[in-house]
Structure 1
Amino acid sequence: MEPASLENLRVLYHSDDFIVINKHWDIRIDSKMWYEKQTVQSQLRHRFPELADPGTYYGFRFCHQLDFSTSGALCVALNKAAAGRAYRCFKERLVTKAYLALVRGSVQSSRMTLDFSIGRSTAEGRTHMMCIAGSDGCENPKPCQTELVVLEYGSYSGDPVTKVLLQPLTGRTHQLRVHCSAIGHPIVGDFTYSLRTDSAPYRMMLHAYLLRLPLEPEPVEVIAPDPFLPKLDPLWAPQHKVQPLEGALEQLLQHPKDPVEGEEQGSSPQHAGTVEGKTAPRETEEQIAQCQQWLSEWGMD
């Protein structure tokens, strides 16, 4: 529960080609702002100055993104060749991710597929937020899906909460946060998607637990330890276990879901329910921009 600092970078995996860190909560990955002293970029420069690459804008090649408020497994490539392999892995939808979260209330179904298209909000006061299709000011919603598995019921500071395992099947901005909020179970401590009401917890309770990249010749599979344990945060009081985390994760890995097929804006409304037989979605604007940035920095030769 200690705040982030330059010294407390937690390394989960380190090879000649990749570092995977356990990103702290409430820290940006990188920043162009001179006053942003506390970033993952600065932590890496402090811990591994010899690995910084002056040929890149940020000094390090981050293979993917995590929100400022989200903790957990974050992969960094240490050379152009490794970055190229990681890029292709993400582009071909071969990466498996799983997140842990505490959400408000008691989720009734033990397993759900959350199927809501997500777009960017243009509503007054919400221009930095995402929204689900059909809500006021939701611009250009895109199909996306999240698998939700209930692990435990309990309470946080005396209020009912549910511990869940989340698997994003698409990569929309703020997808997990928006989907949980859309079913009436916002993530504990998510100030933004609780409409600025959930400000008491010391952090947002969303954690990137598993990251699997089937790379050749070096597969990377890393677990960032579960931070939502009573011994680490006594405000979280588990009361009833539905299934163990290890079993839920094993089931997820043994029976991976197909990615969601992209659809044009104006297609039929999305709803909560299982969708089968889908193929890979079109790349989002954010993914295309990220890939273009990667390509310009790395080169693929």
Structure 2
Amino acid sequence: MTLKKLYENENYVIVNKPYDMYINTDDENEKNTVTCHIACHDSHLSTSTHPLHFVQRLDYATSGVLCIAKNKAAAATAGKLFEKRETRKYYLAIVRGHVKFELADVQYNVGIDPATADSSHKMLALTDNTITCVQSRRAHTRVLVLETGFYNEEPVSVVLLKPITGRRHQLRVHCSALGHTILGDYTYSNTIDSSPHRMFLHATRLVLPLQQGPLDIQTSEPFFQDEQFTTKWKSNVVFYKYRNQEDFQSVCDIIDKSYEIGVKYKIFNCN
């Protein structure tokens, strides 16, 4: 799989991470990592000759925009922007089922699934139907439905996801809590969804409001350029155009707006 550099200067390198690729590892024999593709296997370590600083993370199965700092000062600057939630991140996802709402704020806390606390640390959304989860923290995701269709003759929806907070597996957990697990998400489908060739979650756009000038980095739409997907896809209803760069920025503007609860806008939280 090819890792593409989207932007680079003296402080940052921003790449388009392929799906099913690690960011880094301590295993010298593992070459399927971001660090091996742009530097060397130990670049994530402070002892490296040219250490890299990962100011954000993407899951192994998630593709898309990944920001890496080249020095401690740049890492601290970007880290504060992420910590203060001043960055803007937008993800494309394909989820199981036809989503009934148009726009929603999902505000379920996310914590560790107690059944996996000593093993895989699978995460869990704290909903009205959840008894408990460990170390739960506030989590907030906004969801905009872009299109419905069928994958392999089964109903799916294309959605735009905007994480307001940044918890581990947040987008995957929130989608699952809504009853619309991300297509190909083996973990949060309880190992059932194993037939797709990938998990359909892609970090499409990242906006970093740096003092010297904002960085606005966007990838092309990844799913409909993938023949393994398109041969099994059939469109149903298109609510918003989103497949080219200009249209995608327009739907980002829509998801950024403030809304009042109504027929098409929902809030999901724990009462």
TM over 0.5: yes
2:35 paired residue number: 41
Q: Does structure 2 retain, via aligned residues, the 8 Å contact 1:100–1:164?
A: yes
Q: Aligned to 1:248, what secondary structure does the other structure show? A: helix
**CA distance in 2 between partners of 1:241 and 1:66 (Å):** 28
Return the TM-score normalized by structure 1. 0.76
Query: Do the aligned partners of residues 62 and 56 (structure 1) sit closer, same or farther apart at CA in structure 2, a change above 3 Å counting?
Result: farther
Q: Does structure 2 retain, via aligned residues, the 8 Å contact 1:66–1:74?
A: yes
Write out per-residue CA displacement over residues 197-255 of structure 1, whole angstroms, 9 at most, x where no aligned residue: 000011000000110110021421101211121664322332320112223112234x3
Write out per-residue CA displacement over residues 98-148 of structure 1, whole angstroms, 9 at most, x where no aligned residue: 100000000000111112111101116975211122525521322211100
RMSD over equivalenced CA pairs, Å: 2.4
Query: Do the aligned partners of residues 53 and 194 (structure 1) sit closer, same or farther apart at CA in structure 2, a change above 3 Å counting?
Result: closer
Within 5 Å, give how 1:1-301 maps onto structure 2.
Answer: 4=1, 8-45=2-39, 55-56=46-47, 59-123=51-115, 127-133=120-126, 135-136=130-131, 138-229=133-224, 232=227, 233-234=229-230, 235-245=232-242, 246=247, 247-253=250-256, 255=257, 273=267
**CA distance in 1 between partners of 2:222 and 2:234 (Å):** 13
Larger CA deviation: 124-133 vs 152-161: 124-133
Higher relative strand content: 2
Q: Aligned to 2:202, what secondary structure does the other structure show? A: strand
Larger CA deviation: 18-27 vs 85-94: 85-94
Give, in angstroms, the shift of residue 84 of structure 1: 2.3
Between the aligned residues of both structures, percent identity stands at 36
**CA distance in 2 between partners of 1:242 and 1:124 (Å):** 38
Give, in angstroms, the shift of residue 192 of structure 1: 0.3
**CA distance in 1 between partners of 2:34 and 2:24 (Å):** 6
Q: Aligned to 1:33, what secondary structure does the other structure show? A: coil
**CA distance in 1 between partners of 2:214 and 2:14 (Å):** 12
Q: Aligned to 1:74, what secondary structure does the other structure show? A: strand
Q: Does structure 1 retain, via aligned residues, the 8 Å contact 2:62–2:202?
A: yes
- Could you tell me which runs of 5 or more consecutive residues in structure 1 were left unpaired when the two chains were aligned: 258-271, 276-301
Return the TM-score normalized by structure 2. 0.84
For 1:114, give the aligned amino acid.
Answer: V
**CA distance in 2 between partners of 1:56 and 1:251 (Å):** 44
Larger CA deviation: 89-98 vs 137-146: 137-146
How many residues end up aligned between the 2 structures? 250
2:262 paired residue number: none
**CA distance in 1 between partners of 2:268 and 2:182 (Å):** 22
